[in-house]
Amino acid sequence: MVKLDGYRFGTAINCIDGRTQQPLIDYMKKNFGIDGVDIVTFPGADGIFSDIARTTEAALARRAVSISVEKHGSNVIAVVGHHDCAGNPGDMNYHHAQIRRAIEEVSSWNLRSVVVGLYLNEKWHVNKVK
């Protein structure tokens, strides 16, 4: 892994919802051995890869994630969905399906990072999506 001044980065494509930010950062730091997270945010971010009307957002996410990987040496990219999302309403199964689709898309970018899916439940606990 490339380090920027010894700092190890991860990247998250996450919703703008402020309730998700700290639990996500804490989880990623603990589980991926990183020091900080570059966060790319959009309302209902897990849905931008499944909706043809959101291709501009998907392209913006790709550019931002590429910078994080290339310039900060990020070695993990998380695509995140959450309970009670105003920007992409749906139940847990709906979000899991969208997260799995997003993992496929982000993996196809062939960046030098592991791509994972994460979901924050109604208690704001982070669960890995398989």
pLDDT in tens, 33-86: 999 999 999 999 999 999 999 999 999 999 999 999 999 999 999 999 999 999
Tell me the two tokens of residue 109: 């970018």
**Beta carbons of 41 and 23 less than 8 angstroms apart:** no
The pTM assigned to this predicted structure is: 0.94
Break the chain into its structural domains and give their ranges.
Answer: 9-129
Beta bridge pairs of residue 82: 120
Locate 77 and state its tokens. 């990219």
Topology classification of domain 9-129: Beta-carbonic Anhydrase; Chain A (3.40.1050)
DSSP SS3 for 52: helix
Please list the alpha-helical segments (H only) found in 3-85. 18-32, 55-72
Residues 81 and 122 sit within 8 Å (Cβ to Cβ):
no
